[in-house]
Amino acid sequence: MPARSEYLFKRPGSQMWCVRLQYPREFWTKLNFGPEWLTNHFGRKKVEKSLGTPDYAEAEIRAADLIRDHKRLLMLARNVRNGTLNYGAMKRRYEPNRLHDVDGAMVFATPDYLSYLDPETRTEIKREPNFLIPDITYESTPEERETVVPDRPKKDIDETIIANWVRDRAVNRYIEMEARAAFALFKEVANGKPLKSCTREEGRRFVERLQTMGNKHATIAKKLSHLRSAVNIAIDEGKLTVNPFEKVLPKKRDGDEEIRLPMSDEDMALVRANLRSLRPGDRLLWCLLATTGMRLNEAVQLDEEFLEDGGIRYVFVGSKTEASKRRVPLPSDVLAMLPGKIEGRIFTEKATVLSKRLNNFLKRLGIAHDPVKGTGDSRKVLHSLRHRAKDRLRIAECPLDVQYQLLGHEEKTVASGYGKG
């Protein structure tokens, strides 16, 4: 049995097939001539008409003309929307009081109906309503004007480079938005030049623009890294030869970085009073950073421990520099929070995720700066725990060489900038 079309149906209790032709709501709003022509002849906005046969194949044939007109009207709506057609006053489907030749059939039209006649006997075969349709007029015809095919817009190669980077690196939508905003600014700085024509000179001007806009060194470096990565992919694929974002950011000078303040005793007391609001893993990480002065990246990589003579548990950490590689004893305050023995990663999330949660915790307590509420101190962040550790070692008059060993500092430069002094 053939599949039944939705527009052909049978009414309950009837064996005769009917046709249903519906017009979408936007059809009326686009044409603005309203459904009067349907209402006048069929009493409703949708056409439901018996086809007078219980045979499905015959019903399809009898519905063909109605379906044809239905599709013509839908096409009309589309063409009016596109601006290629205008319609005027309503007129009858076929001019009344005339005999018409319709695809080889003879049709006599009256103001109300169409009478289909047998070509030989001139007797009426069937009758249909001669309903109103819009008077269609074309704004122009191919004979009146030369058909102009609009040029296909050229493909933006630079956009493809960014899109390929988004796809290959599977970056999230926030990073993508950040990269696209940075690239749009770069194109403005480069006066719209394509990437293949850009050099590091445009890259340096881009850096200067970011600096004048108040972007910090780390922010500029991040925006450059997005674009540099995208161009490197294009270079690997042979699409570009020069990376205008490579080696264009001057190295940071001493004093360029914002001074960090160590956590105060009042800050630490406030945190201790609210530690229970943290997840167990975040609570362990906070206590580990506060009691050892480790860097965040060092703490999250812990996956093994060792035992010193006397039963002292310690870990190896450090990869930032040669001097940062060191042994750190595990303080008694955190032993109860650790497993009996560290055998595998104790922090499974990325450092950026952990850092964001703990810094948000500090914002809620009013310690770190919250730009929305206008509270806290921008110089106090999670890394301030490391500065506090340095201060406490200094106050305890711990020998400098021991301080360097515990914190993983070289004997020059870096350690001197830690703590208040």
Report pLDDT for 209: 92
Distance CA 173, CA 374 (A): 28
For 230-297, the DSSP string reads HHHHHHHTTS-S--TTSS-SPPPPTT-SPPPPPPPHHHHHHHHHHGGGS-HHHHHHHHHHHHH---HH
Q: Which of 131-140, 166-175, 267-276, 387-396 has the lowest mean pLDDT?
A: 131-140
pLDDT of 298 > 80? The answer is: yes
User: 3-class DSSP state for residue 206?
Assistant: helix
pLDDT band at 30 (very low <50, low <70, confident <90, very high): very low
Distance CA 248, CA 202 (A): 9
Q: Which of 3-7, 276-280, 285-289 has the lowest mean pLDDT?
A: 3-7
pLDDT of 198 > 90? The answer is: yes
CA-closest candidate to residue 373, choices 384, 382, 364: 364
* Percentage of the chain modeled with pLDDT above 90: 28
Report pLDDT for 86: 54
Amino acid identity at 308: E
Total Cβ atoms within 10 A of residue 277 = 11
Report pLDDT for 3: 46
Average pLDDT, the chain: 79
Output DSSP code: residue 3.
Answer: P
The four Cα atoms 266, 268, 274, 278 give a dihedral, to 10 degrees, of 150
Write out the H or E segment, with its range, that includes residue 116. Answer: strand 113-117
pLDDT band at 29 (very low <50, low <70, confident <90, very high): very low
Specify which residues 8 forms β-bridges with.
19
What mean pLDDT is predicted for residues 382-398? 90
Specify which residues 48 forms β-bridges with.
20
Amino acid identity at 287: C
Distance CA 278, CA 258 (A): 28
Total Cβ atoms within 10 A of residue 210 = 21
Total Cβ atoms within 10 A of residue 19 = 21
* Tokens coding 331: 């303080």
Amino acid identity at 128: E
Mind listing the pLDDT tens digit for each residue in 78-125?
Answer: 665 565 555 556 677 788 888 887 766 788 888 887 888 776 666 777
Q: Which of 65-79, 326-340, 349-363 has the lowest mean pLDDT?
A: 65-79
Reading phi first (left if > 0) and then psi (alpha if -120 to 50, else beta), residue 419 is in left
Write out the H or E segment, with its range, that includes residue 202. Answer: helix 200-212
pLDDT of 364 > 90? The answer is: yes
Report pLDDT for 41: 39
124-129: strand order across its sheet: 98-102, 105-109, 113-117, 124-129
CA-closest candidate to residue 402, choices 351, 315, 329: 329
Report pLDDT for 33: 46
User: 3-class DSSP state for residue 345?
Assistant: coil
Report pLDDT for 186: 93
Distance CA 398, CA 388 (A): 14
Distance CA 404, CA 389 (A): 12
Q: What is the pTM of this model?
A: 0.44
* Tokens coding 332: 């008694």
pLDDT band at 44 (very low <50, low <70, confident <90, very high): very low
Distance CA 44, CA 284 (A): 72
pLDDT of 401 > 90? The answer is: no
Residue 421 vs residue 147, higher pLDDT: 147
Report pLDDT for 139: 47
* Tokens coding 329: 């004893």
Within 8 A by CB and 6+ apart from 204, the residues are 248
pLDDT of 264 > 90? The answer is: yes
Distance CA 9, CA 49 (A): 10
Within 8 A by CB and 6+ apart from 67, the residues are 7, 19, 21
Cα–chain-centroid distance for residue 38? Answer: 45
Within 8 A by CB and 6+ apart from 420, the residues are 261, 262, 391
